[in-house]
Amino acid sequence: FTIVRGLLRFLGENGYTVNAALHNCLFSGSAPEERLVDVLSDEQIRKITDFRSSHQEPIELRDTAIVMLGLKMGFRASDVLNLKFSNINWSKREISIVMNKTRTQIRLPMPVDVGNSIYAYICNGRPHSNDRYIFIRTKAPYGKLTGKICTKALYRMLPERRDIKGGSNKKRHIGMC
C-alpha cells in the first residue's frame, strides 16, 4: 500500500489524475493488535544455564550459543542465523548487525556468557569451514543454517515447550510481537 499510495500521490500532484487526493482512499495502517508475548520462567532460564554448563557436543554448543543470543541479547532467529564473524568485535565485546526485519543498524555490548558460548561453539563445535556465517550446518556441504533451527535449539534444551503453542508463561502486552 505504501508504494501504491506514493504512486497515486505523485500522479495526483502532477495532474495525471482527475482527483489529486486519490491516494487518501487507501488505508494508511491497521488497528492496534493485541498479542501475547511469550516469557520464559525463572525455572526455564535455570534449565538453560544448566544445559550450557553440562552439554559439550557440537550441536549442543551450537544450540547454547543460539539460545543465549536470543535470551541475553534479544536477537530474532533471522538475526542469529545471519550473524557473521565480521559482526563480532571481540576486543570491544560487542556485536554490530543490521537487523533483518527492520533493516536498522545496531551495536550491542556482548555479555560475557554469550561471548563464551559463541567462542565455545566456534572452537569446539563448529565444523572447520571458511564460511562467513558463524552458525553453519554440522554436515557437508557446510553453509548457513535456515528454517526453524533456533526453535529446535530451544526445544532441545526445554523439551516441555514442544507441546505448548507460544510457550507456557504468557503476559499481556499491547502492540508488541
Q: Split the chain (177 residues) into runs of 10 and give each run's mean pLDDT.
A: 81 86 71 69 94 95 97 95 97 95 93 97 96 95 92 94 61 33
Query: Residue 174: its pLDDT value, please?
Result: 32
Place of cell 491497521: 30
- Give which of 165, 155, 161, 141 is closest to 66, Cα–Cα: 155
Return d(Cα 43, Cα 167) in angstroms, integer. 13
The upper half-sphere exposure of residue 10, i.e. CA atoms within 13 Å in the direction of its Cβ, equals: 6
Return d(Cα 131, Cα 142) in angstroms, integer. 8
Query: Residue 29: its pLDDT value, please?
Result: 63
Place of cell 505523485: 10
- Give which of 5, 44, 1, 45 is closest to 22, Cα–Cα: 5
Return d(Cα 40, Cα 71) in angstroms, integer. 9
Query: Residue 156: its pLDDT value, please?
Result: 95
